[in-house]
């Protein structure tokens, strides 16, 4: 078996233990016992144990979202509705809310908070990229940062939502997307306003030097980008 195969097998086995033990060492050891994978090999594939499995579970949901985005016809939707659909597809990819709830508990710990933030950022990067975003300046960051906020708050709402078909969550998501669109409209109005654009000329020159990370560096670093130092 390849390393991805081993990790997938451990993840499938761990899912039944996580609701009771969380993404913990106990769940990781239970997955090893259930699969019969040699402990040293399991640790080599997942050096951080259940933390690596929790991240693999998040990546699994991302993959399901992308698969659905490529099969659904979104051509007739407004762009804001395409973004909302992508977030909805990501949440609907979850097979057990308790696995996500336990993941949020794990990634709320200071030692793993950066891993959680990177995972959410990665999800939002995948959404923007799948929807055809070609920005390569500071907007690359602001779009993903804004969507990270939308995704995170909607996820929290969804976890506590017991409305039929999660209708309350989708209404909440629509309101959050509307807020983002209003912000983007305000940014455009500020750029078109001669007085405000003049006042912001200095900061805009600074932000104009910011560039999105190259694809290969983005995969390695996750969130950081690069700074264009050319005048």
pLDDT in tens, 12-31: 999 999 999 999 999 999 99
First to last CA, the chain: 51
What share of the chain has pLDDT > 70, as a percent?
79
- The confidence score (pLDDT) of residue 139 equals 84
| Residues paired with residue 210 on neighbouring β-strands, in sequence order | 227
Q: Running DSSP on this structure, what letter comes out for residue 223?
A: S
Q: How would residue 224 be classed by pLDDT, with cut points 50, 70 and 90?
A: very low
- Which pLDDT does position 181 carry in this prediction? 72
Helix-helix angle 25-35:50-71, to 10 degrees:
80
pLDDT digits (tens, 9 = 90+) for 131-183: 998 888 888 888 899 999 999 999 999 999 999 999 999 999 999 998 777 65
Dmax (CA) for the chain in angstroms is 69
Task: List 227's β-bridge partners, or say none.
Answer: 210
- Name every residue whose Cβ is closer than 8 Å to that of residue 224 and which is 6 or more positions away in sequence: 213
Task: Answer with the residue of higher pLDDT: 61 or 3.
Answer: 61
Q: Model confidence at 184, in pLDDT bands (50, 70, 90)? A: low
Kindly state the average pLDDT of the residues 191-198: 52
CA distance 88 to 174: 10
Q: Tell me the C-alpha distance between 42 and 14, whole Å.
A: 12
Higher pLDDT, 194 or 51: 51
Q: Which residues contact 122 (CB under 8 A, 6 or more apart)?
A: 62, 222
Are 128 and 150 contacting, i.e. CB atoms less than 8 angstroms apart?
A: no
Output the pTM of the full model: 0.82
Q: How confident is the model at residue 227 (pLDDT cuts 50, 70, 90)?
A: very low
pLDDT in tens, 21-61: 999 999 999 999 999 999 999 999 999 999 999 999 999 99
| 229 vs 128, more confident | 128
Average pLDDT over residues 111-125: 97
């Amino acid at each position: 078996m390849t390393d991805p195969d081993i990790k997938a097998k451990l993840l499938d086995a761990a899912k039944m233990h996580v609701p009771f033990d969380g993404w913990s060492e106990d769940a990781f050891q239970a997955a090893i016992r259930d699969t019969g994978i040699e402990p040293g090999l399991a640790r080599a594939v997942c050096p951080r144990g259940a933390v690596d499995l929790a991240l693999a579970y998040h990546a699994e949901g991302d993959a399901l979202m992308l698969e659905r985005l490529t099969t659904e016809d979104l051509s007739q939707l407004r762009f804001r509705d395409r973004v909302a659909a992508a977030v909805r597809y990501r949440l609907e990819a979850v097979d057990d809310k308790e696995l996500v709830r336990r993941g949020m508990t794990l990634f709320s710990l200071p030692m793993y908070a950066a891993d959680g933030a990177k995972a959410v950022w990665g999800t939002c990067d995948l959404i923007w990229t799948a929807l055809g975003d070609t920005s390569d300046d500071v907007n690359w960051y602001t779009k993903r940062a804004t969507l990270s906020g939308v995704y995170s708050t909607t996820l929290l709402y969804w976890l506590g939502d017991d409305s039929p078909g999660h209708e309350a969550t989708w209404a909440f998501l629509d309101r959050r997307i509307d807020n983002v669109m209003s912000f983007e409209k305000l940014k455009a109005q500020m750029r078109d306003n001669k007085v405000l654009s003049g006042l912001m000329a200095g900061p805009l020159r600074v932000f104009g030097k910011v560039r999105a990370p190259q694809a290969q560096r983005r995969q390695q670093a996750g969130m950081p980008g690069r700074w264009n130092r050319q005048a």
